[in-house]
Homo-oligomer: A and B are copies of this chain.
Amino acid sequence: MKVVRSIAELRAALAGRRDDGVGLVPTMGALHEGHLSLVRAARAESGTVVMSIFVNPTQFDEPTDLAAYPRTEEADVARAAEAGVDIVFAPTAAEMYPRGFASTVSVSGVLTESLEGAQRGRAHFDGVATVVLKLLLAALPDTAYFGAKDAQQVAVVRRMVADLGVPVALRVCPTSRDVDGLARSSRNVRLSAEERARAVAVPRALDAVTDAVARGIRDSTVLVAIARDVLEAADTAVEYVAIVHPDSFESVAMIEGPALVALAVRLGDTRLIDNALLTPGGA
């Protein structure tokens, strides 16, 4: 496995390796089983698998979150190699944002203004869209792999890729979960043992909503209240629970078609997000 630091080196490493397809798994490092499941999906479909590892400063709204974001490059490189990655692209911030950098890709509307956009501010999704476009243009993959946990981010990337006509297919892989259901996240390592125990309320809240939909409840106000009850019983600080269209993130008042329940909570200093697709007709 090769580790490259510059876009020029990445392109050189990919030259002549495109015939059987290139798959890109964009990450911020601190790899866990969720990332590795994306690598396995890429490995199954692509002759060459590229993983990017870049803690993108422009998408962090809180300097403390950026500073505390786990950085474990040596271990990440070892796990990537073991999982079958061919090329790790691990640029510096100066490589991605050289002096004089002045360009931003923005997606406007409810999709970027609601939920994570409202909580984290407009710059968050601008940072995401811009860095993902840069990574896609650097590797020009046939397919890029994302985890379903970051549903709104995926919807923003999907919109940006469609709008600008970026020649790439997107694959969204199921959220990887611990045995008790907690979505795997690089931020989970920051939870204390006591917080980790309470964090199970997050997947339980989603399960409670899914069960309620299966029982025939369609009113989002009722469904949101069910989730909030579970989250608040575990003493988490709820930032939002919302039921939205999975592509547009427009609010859904009454579930009649595809819908997503999405939530964000804080446990101590750690912010967790999760979501579940709701299928009123039965999955």
Contact = CB atoms under 8 A, between A and B. Distances in A.
A103 B163 contact: yes
A106 B107 contact: no
Contact of A159 (B103, B111, B133, B164): B103
A166 B104 CA distance: 14
B165 A138 contact: yes
B133 A102 contact: no
B107 A164 contact: no
A106 B123 CA distance: 13
Contact of A106 (B106, B133, B137): B106
Interface centre among A102, A134, A160 (most CB of B within 10 A): A102
A226 interface: no
A129 interface: yes
A144 B28 CA distance: 33
A133 B136 CA distance: 14
A5 to B, nearest CB: 14
B103 A129 contact: yes
A164 B129 CA distance: 11
A41 interface: no
A75 to B, nearest CB: 28
Nearest to A126: B106
Interface in A85-111: 100-109, 111
A166 B137 CA distance: 6
Contacts of A160: 103
A170 interface: no
Interface string A263-283: 000000000000000000000
A164 B133 contact: yes
> Considering the complex of A and B, which 10 residue pairs feature the smallest CB-CB distances, nearest first?
A103-B163, A137-B165, A102-B108, A102-B109, A104-B106, A102-B107, A103-B160, A103-B107, A101-B163, A7-B165
Given A7-B165, A102-B107, A103-B107, 20 more contacts: A11-B167, A100-B159, A101-B163, A102-B108, A102-B111, A102-B159, A102-B163, A103-B105, A103-B106, A103-B129, A103-B160, A104-B105, A104-B106, A105-B105, A130-B164, A134-B164, A134-B165, A137-B165, A137-B166, A138-B165
24 contacts: A7-B165, A100-B159, A100-B248, A101-B163, A102-B108, A102-B111, A102-B159, A103-B105, A103-B108, A103-B159, A103-B160, A103-B163, A103-B164, A104-B106, A104-B108, A105-B105, A106-B106, A130-B164, A134-B164, A134-B165, A137-B164, A137-B166, A137-B167, A138-B165
